[in-house]
């Protein structure tokens, strides 16, 4: 594999669009159709070493080794949950760490949850990323590459990445242009329709309006989820500092604008915290707040984080909450928790190399099993065309 850390001057294939890749090939004295071949190796066969791109002339392979690299991020650690959720810790070129998560579902959906910033400045009290503070923006390529790498690994195993949610580390609308650019590339280059892409925001009012306008102009159908968690300014302000800047009334106005411009319904996220926002009264307040809005409520049982003392709501209270909302005509579901045993759930991503020795040993075993299954299915060992995800773990 070409190691970018040792060769910082090399261009990253994931950062190049078709024209740029063709221009690079031209500058190397090669023909344009080679760009398609390179893309197939990278995006469909998950091949990172130009030397293994067997249908390219030897000279070009050598030139590419000197001029380019595939990928700018390194897998620092990976954990596999009992439910198949895979959490990955990436080391970026400047040594910063981010996490992304891949969730397989029984109906063959494969959802990547990706990060938009290193850390987050929004300071929501219940969220591990918020607790670590803000480090820096991710570039559009770093955002795109998280999804592209999962996509390539799945394709090499005859599977397909079907959905991408911007619910990892960071506030997507605080990195607006990079996130929009990454989403456009996920659609055009990974073939994931915009209605299978979801942005989740803490509730930045001007950006919600701007997002609505851009989607309408470009015909993008990216889904929008708003992290609400409380239906009064007092309660929301206590958990989410952003509410002091953009109080609930302004937020709901912006949501109405989004629904009008897009014609689509909007999702509201509500982390259920025992005794805090999971009672019948809070459910009624929420139903009143959203009355008349084309909306769906996603209830997330609170995931534990070190810096927040609140507890998860029990299943009975969660169901009661759903019933109150449904009775008021509001659709609501309780989200199935994924990857909780490896801290891969909503709001649990942080820049730590998490995991007990026990969890790490189990992960290694699960990865070995997965590798064996792949080999049995495809009849090839990693290195013969396709590289398995395990091969990238450093």
Residues that are catalytic? 99, 346
Asked if 124 interacts with ligand SF4 (CB under 6 A), we say yes
Q: Which of 110, 39, 98, 36 is nearest to 72 (CA)?
A: 98
- Contact partner at residue 231 from ligand SF4, ligand SAH, none, CB < 5 to 8 Å by partner kind: none
Helices and strands of the chain, counted as H and E runs? 14, 14
Backbone angles phi, psi at 177, to 5 degrees: -65, -40
State the Cα–Cα distance between residues 41 and 276, nearest whole angstrom: 51
CB of 160 to ligand SAH, least distance (A): 24
CB of 155 to ligand SAH, least distance (A): 26
Asked if 339 interacts with ligand SAH (CB under 6 A), we say no
State the Cα–Cα distance between residues 174 and 117, nearest whole angstrom: 8
Q: Which of 223, 258, 229, 260 is nearest to 243 (CA)?
A: 229
Handedness of CA 165, 168, 174, 177 (dihedral sign): negative
Task: Determine the residue with CB nearest ligand SF4.
Answer: 130
Overall residue count recorded for the chain in this entry: 394
CB of 128 to ligand SAH, least distance (A): 7
Among 15, 16, 68, 127, binds ligand SAH (CB under 6 A): 127
Instruction: Identify which range of 28-36, 151-159, 181-189, 302-310 contacts ligand SAH by CB under 6 A.
Output: 302-310
Task: Determine the residue with CB nearest ligand SAH.
Answer: 347
CA angle 241, 128, 179 (to 5 degrees): 75
Beta carbon nearer to ligand SF4, 202 or 299: 202
Asked if 295 interacts with ligand SAH (CB under 6 A), we say no
Q: Any idea what DSSP says for residue 229?
A: -
Q: How many of the other CB atoms lie within 10 Å of CB of 150? A: 25
Report residue 93 as tokens.
Answer: 């070129």
Beta strands in 211-265 (DSSP E): 223-227
**Contact (Cβ atoms closer than 8 angstroms) between residue 241 and residue 133:** no
Among 98, 346, 350, 354, binds ligand SAH (CB under 6 A): 346
Beta carbon nearer to ligand SF4, 4 or 129: 129
Beta carbon nearer to ligand SF4, 50 or 258: 258
Beta carbon nearer to ligand SAH, 16 or 325: 325
Q: Which positions from 226 through 265 interact with ligand SAH, judged by CB under 6 A?
A: 227
Q: Any idea what DSSP says for residue 340?
A: G
Beta carbon nearer to ligand SAH, 4 or 100: 100
- Contact partner at residue 302 from ligand SAH, ligand SF4, none, CB < 5 to 8 Å by partner kind: ligand SAH
Site for ligand SAH, rule CB under 6 A: 126-127, 167, 171, 200-202, 227, 269, 271, 300, 302-303, 305, 346-347
């Amino acid at each position: 594999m070409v190691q970018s850390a040792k060769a910082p001057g090399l261009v990253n294939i994931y950062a190049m669009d078709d024209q740029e890749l063709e221009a690079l090939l031209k500058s190397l004295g090669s023909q344009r159709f080679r760009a398609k071949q390179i893309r197939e190796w990278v995006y469909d066969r998950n091949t990172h070493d130009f030397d293994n791109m067997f249908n390219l002339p030897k000279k070009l392979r050598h030139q590419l080794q000197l001029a380019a690299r595939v990928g700018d991020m390194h897998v620092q650690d990976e954990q596999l949950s009992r439910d198949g959720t895979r959490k990955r810790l990436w080391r970026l070129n400047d040594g910063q760490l981010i996490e992304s998560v891949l969730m397989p579902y029984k109906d063959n959906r494969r959802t990547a949850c990706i990060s938009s910033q290193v850390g987050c400045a929004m300071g929501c009290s219940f969220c591990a990323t918020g607790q670590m503070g803000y480090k820096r923006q991710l570039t559009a390529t770093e955002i795109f590459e998280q999804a592209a790498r999962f996509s390539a690994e799945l394709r090499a195993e005859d599977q397909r990445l079907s959905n991408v949610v911007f619910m990892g580390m960071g506030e997507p609308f605080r990195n607006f242009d990079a996130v929009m650019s990454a989403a456009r590339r996920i659609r055009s280059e990974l073939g994931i329709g915009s209605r299978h892409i979801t942005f989740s925001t803490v509730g930045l009012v001007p950006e919600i309006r701007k997002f609505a306008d851009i989607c309408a102009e470009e015909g993008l159908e990216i889904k929008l989820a708003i992290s609400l968690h409380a239906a009064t300014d007092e309660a929301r302000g206590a958990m989410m500092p952003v509410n002091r800047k953009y109080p609930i009334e302004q937020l709901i106005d912006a949501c109405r604008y989004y629904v009008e411009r897009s014609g689509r319904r909007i999702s509201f996220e509500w982390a259920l915290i025992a005794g805090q926002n999971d009672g019948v009264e809070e459910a009624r307040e929420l139903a009143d707040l959203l009355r008349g809005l084309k909306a769906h409520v996603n209830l997330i049982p609170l995931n534990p984080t070190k810096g927040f003392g609140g507890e998860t709501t029990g299943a009975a209270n969660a169901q009661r909450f759903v019933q109150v909302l449904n009775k008021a005509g509001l659709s609501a579901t309780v989200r199935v928790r994924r990857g909780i045993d490896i801290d891969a759930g909503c709001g649990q991503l942080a820049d730590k190399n998490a995991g007990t020795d026990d969890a790490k040993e189990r992960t290694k075993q699960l990865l070995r099993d997965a590798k064996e299954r792949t080999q049995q299915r495809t009849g090839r060992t990693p290195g013969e065309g396709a590289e398995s995800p395990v091969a990238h773990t450093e």
